[in-house]
Amino acid sequence: MDVTFVLLGATGDLTKRKLIPAIYHLLANKAVDKVLLVGVARRKIAIQSILKEAKTFISKPNNNIWQKIVVSSYYQQLDFYDEEHYAALGRRLENLEAKHELSGNRLFYLATLPQHFDTITLNLSKTKIARQTSQNWSRLVYEKPFGNDLASARKINSCISRAFREDQVYRIDHYLGKELVGNIAILRFTNRVFEPLWNRHHLESVQVTFDEDIGLAGRGNFYDKYGALKDVVQNHVLQILALIAMESPQKLTGKFIRDEKAKVLKKIKVSDVLLGQAKPYRKEPKVNPKSHTETFSAIKLNINNNRWRGVPFYIRAGKYLHRKEVSIHLKFKPIHCLLTTTCPSDTNYLTIRVNPNEGFTLELFAKVPGQANHVQSALMDHSHDRLRQISSPEAYQVLLHEVILGNQSLFVRDDEIEHAWKVIDSIKSRNWKVFPYPAGSPGPKELSLFEKKHKMRWR
Amino acid sequence: MDVTFVLLGATGDLTKRKLIPAIYHLLANKAVDKVLLVGVARRKIAIQSILKEAKTFISKPNNNIWQKIVVSSYYQQLDFYDEEHYAALGRRLENLEAKHELSGNRLFYLATLPQHFDTITLNLSKTKIARQTSQNWSRLVYEKPFGNDLASARKINSCISRAFREDQVYRIDHYLGKELVGNIAILRFTNRVFEPLWNRHHLESVQVTFDEDIGLAGRGNFYDKYGALKDVVQNHVLQILALIAMESPQKLTGKFIRDEKAKVLKKIKVSDVLLGQAKPYRKEPKVNPKSHTETFSAIKLNINNNRWRGVPFYIRAGKYLHRKEVSIHLKFKPIHCLLTTTCPSDTNYLTIRVNPNEGFTLELFAKVPGQANHVQSALMDHSHDRLRQISSPEAYQVLLHEVILGNQSLFVRDDEIEHAWKVIDSIKSRNWKVFPYPAGSPGPKELSLFEKKHKMRWR
């Protein structure tokens, strides 16, 4: 398989940090035989300077493989709003594909701001440079964020659907490429130990935690318009939640999984929200010093269907926190206690650790050795890295590979994106107070009131 | 608490190897403050020679504690069939208890052959040396085997019940003192992850394995009359099975657990049997060279109630085998496979390891790192020793402690014993062929036919 990667927004961070290293690893692992790499952006720049930076994000690059990338990489300056430029890009691609003897499979990666998505989509369509034939495919990958609210997402979707078929369209949520997110459905649906318990009869609550210890990392301009809800909850957190909460799909493949995720996202009803802003946030470069943008959010929501009626889902996402942890906690209901000694003070948990220390843990109770009928908790842990002595592949490598294979399971469909935006819009439509919190803390102190009010405890 | 231990059968192996070391550890752990130890048997022997041997079975004995035992140990020669001798024993006990200032709690341990049980019981009762007052207790502990078949067990039980109250009676099955046997009910009834799955809807089959690599260890005379079924299956294996299969007791305490165990033992129906005899067995000392006694048995049985209808239980027990392993395997039913790649070839298992390497393991399926929708098995292990950096206490120490506390949970009630003998008698009533097998093998080669016939596989 050979592929022409057209990276739109090639001067941005994502291209250097993630996309080019991912393409390198696909070549190294022989997931593709041959590539053409065409960087596209507004600025005048040499491809070498992009490659030079990108190389620093590959650990121990093999020189032979890296040279394959160097000799087949090009740059094309392009104004996203000038149709003529797309025609020129089309001619360039044809020439380069002929020169490098490529079959013309084209992967267009839109790593730009979402406001350019419809213009780029329209122009790629008009100039027919993303056309498919019986010999080769063209696929379009849209980086997140996909719009800014329901209206803008709908606008992009309708533009895409007029120009392309949905099976050519890959909306990125790179968390879907994470090992343990990919493991959610496998754990649920291949284990008899879990599947029958995955419902309101046996689960007391579900928590999804998305804690980051870092701040903005220079993204002030972007982040101040988005905030935690739009930057992380709308996509990563709600996608994880949808995988946890969806009904059993007919098969574990693209269409069926996306059908079920869309259905469950549609059923979400937010019942409480707590927003916070880290104290150093307003002093960040390019952030409005009077900004009310939230850098932390905690949400209680319900899913109004037969499986989940009465089971609260708690999600939280924030930056500048005391720890880095993306994890899912399924808390089992208590069991009728038959002990006459001391009963367990807590219940069983299944914890899926997405990041860091990918893996999952089952917290059980077992006998205290040497003492009849005394229980203590017994942790059963499964770390993914330990499993094969290799570290899991990077999400972008996984996702680009899936695009090349034409498998849409790990990408978000138009209706899913819109349902998720509806959830965010419903929160934004009310003016929630934003409580300050110190950097390096677990969030606003009002969190403990939230715990008390809902009789829950964050893990 | 102080206790007078009266060890009947004091010249036997059990007293030296297990009982005196267990009493030592009870003292060392301050489970008792003060003891009097009176060895009783037919032979003329000095208590010192018994103690000397017993000490070799204590690893790193503390001298202070050992001295406490030495200065309070005595020997009384006694003919089990001479009532006068019991009267003399009674006077001796009173004198010694007065001398050592003990309050007169008496634990009579019948470590003799079962044919003496009714005579000893009767004489202890007649001479009133096992009487209870409001100040102190007397308890009788009966070592296994408890009889030789249903009729003999009934005879002993009826003799006991005429002489003593059932709450004074402790029938030993030392496997009930093993850590992981004690853990069975805890695992089942304190974990929401297991309890709802513990039935025919979610379990495909249950295996109890009792493999020993040793031979007779000098017990030829006894073993040739008993064999694997009476020596191990009637007690250890059926008790483990009863704990696995019983209905939820009202509370995890003596009476309720014993009620439920008795009920389920009553429901056992044996449907297939395979017996074997190790080739070196007939050459063992004191074994009939034409013996047909089985040293191996594999049994398929069913429990005809609502929880277990249709779930086969497979038990096996043998000596001279290729490994030492006592374990319980709960095999979960397969799950409807949603994968379009490869489906798991096996199902989930919960394995409880009683001996060696006490602990439990849950075999799940998880994603193969780096490959979407490929599964591999993921072992979650919990080793009991690792838990507290200490090794679990010896079964006899646990059991003697329970007797002293007056807790009967870990002892077998009259009805349980009789139901278990009924199972063994029903097997013995048919003439099963006994197939030879080489020492150090997994058993008779006919085992593979057994597997094929029942579409099962021994783990």
Per-residue pLDDT of chain B (459 residues; tens, 9 = 90+): 999 999 999 999 999 999 999 999 999 999 999 999 999 999 999 999 999 999 999 999 999 999 999 999 999 999 999 999 999 999 999 999 999 999 999 999 999 999 999 999 999 999 999 989 888 999 999 999 999 999 999 999 999 999 999 999 999 999 998 888 989 999 999 999 999 999 999 999 999 999 999 999 888 989 999 999 999 999 999 999 999 999 999 999 889 999 999 999 999 999 999 999 999 999 999 999 999 999 999 999 999 999 999 999 999 999 999 999 999 999 999 999 998 888 888 999 999 999 888 899 999 999 888 777 889 999 999 887 655 545 567 889 999 999 999 999 999 999 999 999 999 999 999 999 999 999 999 999 999 999 999 999 999
Instruction: For residue B410, give the nearest of B183, B124, B160 by alpha carbon.
Output: B183
Q: Tell me the torsion sign for CA atoms B83, B89, B91, B97.
A: negative
Work out the minimum CA distance from A291 to partner chain B, whole angstroms: 41
Which secondary-structure segment (H or E) carries B330? strand B325-332
Determine whether the interchain pair A370/B183 forms a contact, defined as Cβ–Cβ distance below 8 Å. Answer: no
The Cα–Cα gap between A137 and A131 comes to 7
Work out the minimum CA distance from B20 to partner chain A, whole angstroms: 18
B71 touches chain A (CB under 8 A): no
Token pair for A341: 């000694």
CA B25 to chain centre: 20
Determine whether the interchain pair A186/B367 forms a contact, defined as Cβ–Cβ distance below 8 Å. Answer: yes
B30 touches chain A (CB under 8 A): no
Chain B positions touching A367 (Cβ under 8 A) are 179, 182-183, 186-187
Determine whether the interchain pair B382/A366 forms a contact, defined as Cβ–Cβ distance below 8 Å. Answer: yes
Q: Are B428 and B149 in contact (CB under 8 A)?
A: yes
Cα diameter, chain A: 81
The pLDDT value recorded for residue A30 is 94
Beta bridge partners of B142: B110, B171
Q: What angle do CA B131, B134, B137 make, to 5 degrees?
A: 45
Q: Which residues contact B52 (CB under 8 A, 6 or more apart)?
A: none
The Cα–Cα gap between B67 and B64 comes to 5
- Cis preceding-peptide flag for A285 (omega within 30 of 0): no
Q: Which residues contact A397 (CB under 8 A, 6 or more apart)?
A: A21, A22, A25, A26, A177
Question: What are the CA-CA distances from residue B323 to residues A30, B23, B435 (Å)?
Answer: 45, 31, 19
Q: Are A395 and A175 in contact (CB under 8 A)?
A: yes
Pairing of strands A203-211, A325-332: antiparallel
Classify residue B357 by its DSSP letter: S
Q: Are B142 and B110 in contact (CB under 8 A)?
A: yes
A–B CB contacts, 8 A cutoff, strictly below: 187
Q: Is B236 a catalytic residue?
A: yes
Amino acid identity of residue B296, one-letter, is F
Token pair for A178: 């994470």
Cα diameter, chain B: 81
Classify residue B223 by its DSSP letter: H
| Per annotation, catalytic residue among B25, B85, B174, B236 | B236
The residue of chain A nearest to residue B396, with distances taken between CA atoms, is: A370
Beta bridge partners of A350: A330, A362
Token pair for A40: 């596209």
Three-state secondary structure string covering B131-195: CCCCCCCEEEEECCCCCCCHHHHHHHHHHHHHHCCHHHEEECCHHHHCHHHHHHHHHHHHCCCCH
Q: For an interface test with A, give the residue of B192, B397, B399 to mutate (most A CBs within 10 A).
A: B192
- Cis preceding-peptide flag for A280 (omega within 30 of 0): no
The residue of chain B nearest to residue A250, with distances taken between CA atoms, is: B338
Residue ranges of A 380-409 with Cβ closer than 8 A to chain B: 380-382, 384-385, 387-388, 390, 392-393, 398, 402, 407, 409
B200 touches chain A (CB under 8 A): no
Report DSSP letters for A237-300, one per residue.
Answer: IHHHHHHHHPPPPSSSSHHHHHHHHHHHHHTEEEEEEEEEEEGGGGGSTTS-TT----SEEEEE
A159 touches chain B (CB under 8 A): no
Work out the minimum CA distance from B392 to partner chain A, whole angstroms: 6
Beta bridge partners of A318: A211, A296
Instruction: For residue A360, give the nearest of B321, B380, B155 by alpha carbon.
Output: B380
A62 touches chain B (CB under 8 A): no
B105 touches chain A (CB under 8 A): no
Q: For an interface test with A, give the residue of B178, B184, B191 to mutate (most A CBs within 10 A).
A: B191
Spatial strand order of the sheet with A2-8 comes to A73-77, A34-41, A2-8, A106-110, A138-142, A169-171
Using DSSP, state whether B100 is helix, strand or coil.
Answer: coil
The pLDDT value recorded for residue A392 is 64
Phi and psi, residue A322, nearest 5°: -80, -5
Q: Which residues of chain A have pLDDT under 50?
A: 389
Q: Which candidate from B183, B339, B343 shows the least CB-CB separation from A366? A: B183
Q: What angle do CA A229, A184, A253 make, to 5 degrees?
A: 100
The residue of chain B nearest to residue A359, with distances taken between CA atoms, is: B366
A410 touches chain B (CB under 8 A): yes
Determine whether the interchain pair A372/B337 forms a contact, defined as Cβ–Cβ distance below 8 Å. Answer: no
The pLDDT value recorded for residue B391 is 57
Which secondary-structure segment (H or E) carries B401? helix B395-405
What ipTM goes with this model? 0.90
The Cα–Cα gap between A154 and A157 comes to 5
The Cα–Cα gap between A308 and A312 comes to 8
The pLDDT value recorded for residue B300 is 98
Classify residue B433 by its DSSP letter: -
The pLDDT value recorded for residue B99 is 97
Q: Are B234 and B420 in contact (CB under 8 A)?
A: yes
The Cα–Cα gap between A127 and A89 comes to 10
A83 touches chain B (CB under 8 A): no
Determine whether the interchain pair B332/A192 forms a contact, defined as Cβ–Cβ distance below 8 Å. Answer: yes
The pLDDT value recorded for residue B209 is 98
A177 touches chain B (CB under 8 A): no
B98 touches chain A (CB under 8 A): no
Cα separation of the two ends of chain A: 46
Q: Are A186 and B375 in contact (CB under 8 A)?
A: yes
pTM attached to this predicted model: 0.92
Q: Are A200 and A308 in contact (CB under 8 A)?
A: yes
Q: Are A369 and B181 in contact (CB under 8 A)?
A: no
Token pair for B215: 């031979």
